[in-house]
Amino acid sequence: MYRTVSSLMYRTVCSGLDQVIRRRWPVRAASAEERERVVVPFSCPLQGAKLEDLLPQLQQEMDQMYLFDPLHKMEFLALGTFAETSYTGHRRFHQLEQDWQERSARVTRLAPCRLFALPAFSFVDREDAAGWSNWPDALLRIPRLQLVASGDRLEATLWLHAAEAADVALGKRSVCALLQGDLRSFADLQTVVPWRFLQVESRAEWEARVSAVTRTLRDGLEKVVLARLARHPVQRRPCEAVAALRQRYASSWTFAVARAGAWFVGASPERLLSVEDRRFEVDALAGTRGRGATVQEDTALAEELMASGKDREEHAAVVRFLESQLMHVVRALSVPPHPHIVKYANVQHLFTPVSGDMADGVQLADMLATLHPTPAVAGLPRQAALALLLETEPWTRGWYAGGVGWMDDRGDGSFAVALRSALYQEGEIAVFAGAGIVPASEPQAEWAETEMKMQPMRDAFGVFQTAEMDG
**DSSP E strand stretches across 152-222:** 153-161
Q: Which one, of 374, 375, 368, lies nearest residue 414 by Cα?
A: 368
Which of 176-187 are b and which e, b meaning 16 or more Cβ less than 10 Å from the residue's Cβ?
ebbbebebeebb
Of 233, 231, 230, 236, residue with least CA distance to 462: 236
Cα atoms in the Cβ-side hemisphere of radius 13 Å centred on 189 = 12
Is 223 one of the catalytic residues? yes
Name the residue among 344, 223, 228, 331 with its Cα closest to residue 283: 344
Contacts (Cβ under 8 Å, ≥6 apart) of 64: 55, 58, 77, 78, 79, 80, 143, 183, 256, 258
> Residue 404 and residue 419: Cα distance in Å, rounded?
10
429 sits in which H/E element: strand 428-437
C-alpha dist (Å) from residue 377 to 318, 371, 402, 404: 10, 11, 9, 15
Alpha-carbon distance 78 to 99, whole Å? 18
Selection from 120, 159, 167 nearest residue 140 by Cα: 120
CA distances from 85 to 63, 71, 76, 280, 406 (A): 14, 28, 20, 27, 16
Q: How far is CA 115 from CA 42, 147, 388, in A?
A: 12, 11, 40
Specify the 3-state DSSP secondary structure of 386. Answer: helix
Q: Which of 75, 270, 314, 446 is catalytic?
A: 270
- Could you tell me if 100 and 117 are in contact, meaning their C-beta atoms sit under 8 angstroms apart? yes
Asked if residue 269 has a cis previous peptide bond (ω within 30° of 0), the answer is no
The answer to whether the beta carbons of residues 40 and 16 sit under 8 Å apart is no
Q: What is d(CA 86, CA 398) in angstroms, rounded to the nearest whole number?
A: 14
- Which burial class, exposed, middle or buried, applies to 3 when counting CB atoms under 10 A from its CB (0-12, 13-18, 19+)? exposed
* Given the residues 52, 223, 446, 449, the one annotated as active site: 223
The candidate with the shortest Cα–Cα distance to 118, out of 406, 365, 368, 417, is 406
| Bridging pattern class, strands 37-45 and 108-109 | parallel
- Catalytic residue set: 223, 270
